[in-house]
Amino acid sequence: MSQEQVTKKQEPRTNNAVTEKVNAGALAVNLFEADANQGVDNLTHEDLALPFLKILGQLSPEVNKRDGKYVQGAEPGMIYNSVTGELFDGEEGIEVIPCHYKLEYIEWQDRGEGSGAPVAIHSSSSDILTQTKRDASYKDRLPNGNYIDKTASHFVIVNSKSPSTALIAMKSTQLKISRKWNSMMASIKMKGKNGMFTPASFSHTYKLRSTQMSNDKGTWFGWEVSKIGPVQDAALYQQAKSFSESISKGDVKVKHGESTEGTKSEASHF
């Protein structure tokens, strides 16, 4: 017997079934509200994981049925949420609001060596790439044997039924897509009372899809970005603005970890 059926049995009969359902729903909300925040009131940014959105490839453990990280129904080209385990159709794509952008140079040891965490993270102003040489596998190697991944991180709100925060990290061939996306955001102009201006990145919504790419080195899935238009919902805009401000203040800490396709990112936030 469902909760709704139990509730109906306990409540007095009414001639209006719709009203009865509404009252049952309102009762549940009231109960939840009375106990708001209990059990999560002591959480800090160190305790919360920010989902990492990535496009699954042929070598992703999530598509390998023999791998412990296999996700049922996962296929190459799908978009995967690392925290919730949700899968999104790559061709249909997802709607996101970009809230913050960060470029970093991440120093790694080869897979299987060390802890699997970055050796160091160098800021966008670093000249670390001038110290590297491109090796046969197209990695930028330092004299100490480590390699550098130039990584563009896009912090976003996923615009779904329940909007949520997420991180999209682009590197290698996807850096071109990242630059294109940044150019799209910077080129938007709106007319205000003081003339033309460039709105905040979180003023507009974008569609992200996966698309198959290739060159003389192989074939893979990458991101495709297109602009949808201005954010229409005031509450959603405020959520995006608040997320942007929390990152700028340093409340979001990104923890990078090793994966079969190079790197993945996991972030904590408050």
What single letter denotes the amino acid at residue 117? Answer: A
Q: Model confidence over 107-153: pLDDT tens digits? A: 999 887 877 788 999 999 999 999 999 999 889 999 999 999 999 99
Tokens coding 82: 């690392």
DSSP letters spanning the chain: --HHHHHHHHSPP-S-HHHHHHHHHHHHHHHHHHTTTTTTTT--TTS-EEPBEEE--TT-GGG-TTSTT--TT--TT-EEETTT--EE-TTT-EEEEEEEEEEEEEEEPPTTSTTSS-SEEEETT--GGGG-EE-TTS-EE-TTS-EEEEEEEEEEEE-SSS-EEEEEEEEGGGHHHHHHHHHHHHT--EEETTEEE---GGGEEEEEEEEEEEETTEEEEEEEEEEEEE---HHHHHHHHHHHHHHHTT-EEEEEEEETTEEEEEEEE-
| pLDDT tens-digit series, residues 7-39 | 444 444 444 444 444 444 555 666 666 776 665
| Average model confidence (pLDDT) across the chain | 83
Who has greater pLDDT, 155 or 38?
Answer: 155
pLDDT at 250: 86
pLDDT tens track for 226-269: 999 999 999 999 999 999 999 999 888 776 665 434 333 334 33
Cβ atoms of 32 and 64 closer than 8 Å: no
Give residue limits of the domains in the chain. 3-34, 49-269
Could you give phi then psi for residue 182, rounded to 5 degrees? -60, -40
Cα(224)–Cα(228) distance, integer angstroms: 13
Greater confidence, 199 or 29?
Answer: 199
Phi and psi at residue 37, in whole multiples of 5°? 75, -5
Q: What is residue 246's predicted lDDT score, i.e. its pLDDT?
A: 92
